[in-house]
Amino acid sequence: MSEPVIKPFTKAEMDAMRAATRDEESLKRRFWDKLRRVAGKIPFAEDLVAAFYCAMDPKTPSRVKLILLGAIAYFVMPLDAVGDLLPLIGFADDAAVLAAAITQVASSITDEHRARARKSLGEDFQQQD
C-alpha cells in the first residue's frame, strides 16, 4: 500500500496563517463572521467551535493553542487549497486541516469546550466571545 500524498502548505498559506494568528481579535471576528455564513454547510461545525474555545482558553498550553489557531486561521483564510464556494468539497481541506489539528491535541479539548460549542451553535451566534 502506498503512502498518502501530503501536500505541504504554500508559502502564501503559511504567511496568511502566521498573520492571522498574530492578531487574535481579528481572528476571532473573522472566525465568527465566516462561521455564521457557513455553519449549516459544514458537518464539523461543533468540532471547529470546540477547537476555537480550546484555543481561547487561558488554561490551554501554548503548543496546543498554536496548533489550533493554525487550523482556525486556515478555516478563515479567504483563499485556500480548495475553494470554499465549491459545493460539497469546498470545505474538505478545512475539515482535513482541523481533523489533523484535533488529532494532535484531542486531550486538550475538554467537555466544557464542547458544551460551549453546542451552546453557541444553538444560540444562532447571538453573543460570541
pLDDT digits (tens, 9 = 90+) for 4-21: 445 666 777 677 666 666
CA pair distance 74, 28, nearest whole angstrom: 13
The pLDDT of residue 37 is 82
C-alpha cell belonging to residue 40: 449549516
| Model pTM above 0.85 | no
**Which ranges of 1-129 does DSSP label H, i.e. alpha helix?**
11-22, 24-38, 45-56, 62-76, 92-105, 111-122
Domain extents in the chain:
11-122
The pLDDT of residue 119 is 95
The pLDDT of residue 39 is 79
pLDDT digits (tens, 9 = 90+) for 34-77: 888 887 878 889 999 999 999 999 999 988 988 898 888 888 87
Residue 87: pLDDT over 70? no
C-alpha cell belonging to residue 107: 486531550
CB 101 within 8 A of CB 64: no
First to last CA, the chain: 46
Residue 103 has a CB neighbour count (10 Å cut-off) of 9
Average pLDDT, the chain: 79
3-state secondary structure of 118: helix
